[in-house]
Chains A and B, each alone.
Chain A
Amino acid sequence: MIELKINNINVKAEEGMTILDAAKSVGIHVPTLCHMKDLFPTGACRICVVEVEGMRGLTPSCAYPVSDGMKVQTNSPRVRQARKTIVELLVENHPDDCLICVRNKNCELQDLSEQYSLREHRFVGEKKDHAIDISSASMERDPAKCILCGRCVRTCNEIQKVGAIDFTNRGFSSNVTTPFNKGLNVSDCILCGQCILVCPTAALREKSHSKEVISALNDKNKFTVVQIAPAVRASIGEEYNLPLGTNVTGQLVTGLRRLGFKKVFDTNFAADLTIMEEGTELIGRIKNGGKLPMFTSCCPGWVKYIEQNRPQLLDHLSTCKSPHEMEGAVLKSYYAKKMGLTPADIFVVSIMPCTVKKFESDRAELMNDKMQDVDAVLTTRELVRLFKMAGIDFNDLPEDSFDNPLGESTGAAAIFGTSGGVMEAALRTAYFKLTGNELENLQLNDIRGNVGVKESTININGTDIKVAVVNGIGNVGIVLDQIESGKSEYHFIEVMACPGGCINGGGQPIHQKSEKVMKRVKVLYEIDENAKNRRSHENESVKKIYNEFFGEPNSYKAHDILHTTYVNRKELLKK
C-alpha cells in the first residue's frame, strides 16, 4: 500500500496505480482525452496534467504511477490554466460548427470547453483543412474534427488489429487516415465502427440513412416496416438517461409505431430462423465431411474481414445470411405473398447496433429480383435522433408488442446480441436435432463472458463437438492461423467483430462508461431466462414458415432465399 496526498486528502493506493486512478478512488475527477482503460498510456493529450510537488513541469496523471509520500494537486490555478489552454488550443483547430454537428451535446471537446469556461477565441490562426471521406457505405471520416487523441488508432490497431487507419504526417499536418489518404471503401477497414464509439468528437461517425427512412415513411405507396436487432433494446434507454441495462423493448415498439412504421417486427424471429438454417448446415457438414470448422456468418464485419484478409478460408464460412437480411428476405417473399403485397412496395428498415450492417444491406449478393433484402439500416443512435425529431417522449411511452408472424422469438434469439450467444443458441438446437433430446444445461458458462477466445466441448451422441467463440476481431488471427496450418480442432466457431458482440456494436450509444457491456449483456440473458421458449426450434412461427413455405431447413427454397455467397475482396481491393 502506498500513501499519498491528493488535494490534501489522504489517499491509499496500490503499487503501480496511476495518479489518475488514485484520484478517482477518492472521488476526484481528472479529465482525460487520450486515456483508454486497460491500454498502455500514450500521454498524448496532456489534459490530465496535475501538479506533483517537486516535479519541474506538470505531470500527466494517466501515465504516472503513485509513490509514497507524493503530494498532488489536481485543481491548482497552474493546473487549471494549463488545462484551459490545452482545451483552447484544441478548439482553435476545430470547426466552430457545434450547432449542426452530429455529436452536438455528446462531445468530449464540447464538454471540456464548457467545463473550462471558454468564452472567446484567444489563439486564432490557421485551421487544418481536410476533406470528409464519405466513400464507405457505413461510415464517414471528418479529419477536420479530429483532435488526434489516437483512441481510434489504438482501437483499430491494438484492439481490433485491423490496422485500417494510423497517424500519418507529423506536427501540425498530423492526420489520422488511410494509406495515401484514400477512401475507407478501399482500405482495410471492416467498418465495425468501434472507432466511432471511442471518438471524442464527430471525426468518425456513421453514414446516416435517416433521410431514406423518412422519405419512405412519407411515401404513401410504400409499405414501410421495421425490425429491431436484439442488442438495441438493451442499450437505447441509455440515451434517455435510464440506468445502464434497462430493457425497453415495449417502449421501442410503441415508439416505432408512432414514427409511422406499418409493422414492427423483431430480428429475433430471424435469429431463430438462422439457427435452424445454420444448425442444419453444421450438422450436414459434420455428417457429410464438409469443410470444418464452420464459421458463423451473422457478423458482416467479420465476413468483410475474412473476405479481405483470408479469402482462401471463405469455404469455412456458413452460407447463411445474417438474421436481419433473412428477416428482410422473408418479408419480401413469404410475408408479401401471405399479405398480398407487392414485394417492391415493401421498404424494410433495420434498427441495428451496428455500422457494417449498412454496408451489408448494400451487398449485391443480398439482393433478390433486383431488390435489396433490407432497404435501410439505422443505428441505435440514428433512431434516437428520429424519435427526438418526431417529438416522441421515450420515457413516457406505453409498452407494446411486436407484430406477427415475424415478431415471435425465443430466448435463444435474444442472446444473439452478445458474444457466445449465437453459439449457445446453435448448440441448443443442434443437440436436439442430433439426439432428439433437449440440452438440459442451457447456460454454457465456458462461452460467456468477456474473454478473447472462448472454447467449449459438448458431447453429442458420443461425439465431442469442439466449439470456439472469438470475441472481437482482434482475436481471430490465432484461430485462423490454426486452420491454415491444419491444426484447428474445432467444429464450429462463432466470430463477432466487436468486443462483447453486437451489444457493443459500432452503432450503439456513445459514452465511455466501462461497465456498459456487461450491464447490457445482462438484459439479454434475462430475456432468455424469462422466455417461454428458450430454443429456436420451439418458435411456433418458425415452425409454421417451414410448413407453409420453405419445407425444411436447407431446402432448395431456403437456400435460394436465406443463404448467400461471398467475394474474394483481397483481389478486388488490389485492382
Chain B
Amino acid sequence: MHDNIFEKYPKNDRSNLIAILQDIQDEFGYLPENAISEVSEFVGIPQCSVYGVATFYNQFRLIPLGKNVIRVCRGTACHVKNSANILTALEAELEIKAGETTRDKLFTIETVACIGACSIAPVININDEYYGRITVKEIPKIIKKYKNEMKKENAFEKIEESAE
C-alpha cells in the first residue's frame, strides 16, 4: 500500500523510520493503523517500536486532521502578549479543545511551541496564512471567513454534482 514510499528507502534500515513515517503522513495527513504494521515489516522492527516512535514525536498524528488547521503559537513572546486568551477564544468559538477536531471535520486547533514570528506576536496560522498581532475580538470574524469559504466550496461541489 505504501510501496511508492518504501521504494525510496533501503529495507531493514531503522534510521529511515522517522522519514518514512513523515512521508506517509505527508500523503495521508495522518498515520493510518495499517501503516504502522507495514512500516514495521519494512523496517524490520516490532510494531510496538514503530508505534512508540509515532507517539513520541509531536509531528505524528494517528487520527486525521480537519480541513482547516489552526495553529496557535504558544511561544514565549506570544505568551507574554496573551496568546493564552487567543487560544481560549478559539476553543470557545469552535467548541473544541486544542489538539481536537470539530465534529464536521472542518477545523483542528493545534498549539505550536514557536512559529518564529515573534515580532508580530501573538500569531496564529491557519493553513498557510499568518494572522499577526491578533486580538480576541477578531477571532469570530476570521473563523466565519473560513466557514463561508467551506460553504462556497460545498455549494460548488453540489452544483457540480447536480450538473453531472
Where the two chains meet, the residues of A that have a C-beta atom closer than 8 Å to any C-beta of B are 157, 162-170, 178-180, 187-188
Contact = CB atoms under 8 A, between A and B. Distances in A.
A165 B49 CA distance: 8
Residue with the highest number of chain A CB atoms closer than 10 Å, among B36, B37, B45, B49: B49
Interface residues of B, number: 14
Interface of B: 33, 36-37, 45-52, 55-56, 62
B48 A187 contact: yes
Contacts of A165: 48
A167 B33 contact: no
6 contacts: A163-B47, A167-B56, A168-B48, A168-B56, A179-B50, A180-B36
Contacts of A167: 52, 56
Nearest to A573: B37
Contacts of A170: 55-56
B51 A179 contact: yes
A451 B98 CA distance: 53
Contacts of B55: 168-170
Given A179-B36, A180-B33, A163 B56 contact: no
Q: Return the 7 tightest CB-CB contacts between A and B, nearest first.
A: A163-B46, A179-B51, A166-B48, A166-B52, A179-B47, A168-B55, A169-B55
Contacts of A169: 55-56
A218 to B, nearest CB: 42
B120 to A, nearest CB: 30
B56 A166 contact: no
Contacts of A180: 33, 36, 51, 62
Majority SS at the chain A contact face? loop
A163 B51 contact: no
A47 B37 CA distance: 36
Given A168-B51, A169-B56, A180-B51, A188 B46 contact: yes
B56 A178 contact: no
Contacts of B48: 163-166, 168, 178-179, 187-188
Contacts of B36: 179-180
Contacts of A163: 45-49
Nearest to B56: A170
Given A167-B52, A168-B52, 11 more contacts: A157-B46, A162-B46, A163-B47, A163-B48, A163-B49, A165-B48, A166-B46, A166-B48, A167-B56, A168-B48, A169-B56
A166 B50 CA distance: 9
A535 B62 CA distance: 58
Contacts of B47: 163, 179, 188
Contacts of A187: 48
Nearest to B57: A170
Contacts of A166: 46, 48-49, 51-52
Contacts of B49: 157, 163, 166
A188 B46 CA distance: 8
Nearest to B58: A170
Nearest to B33: A180
Contacts of B33: 180
A167 B50 CA distance: 10
A508 B52 CA distance: 30
Nearest to B62: A180
Contacts of A157: 46, 49
Nearest to B37: A179
Contacts of B51: 166, 168, 179-180
Nearest to A574: B37
A162 B46 CA distance: 8
Contacts of B45: 163
A163 B51 CA distance: 11
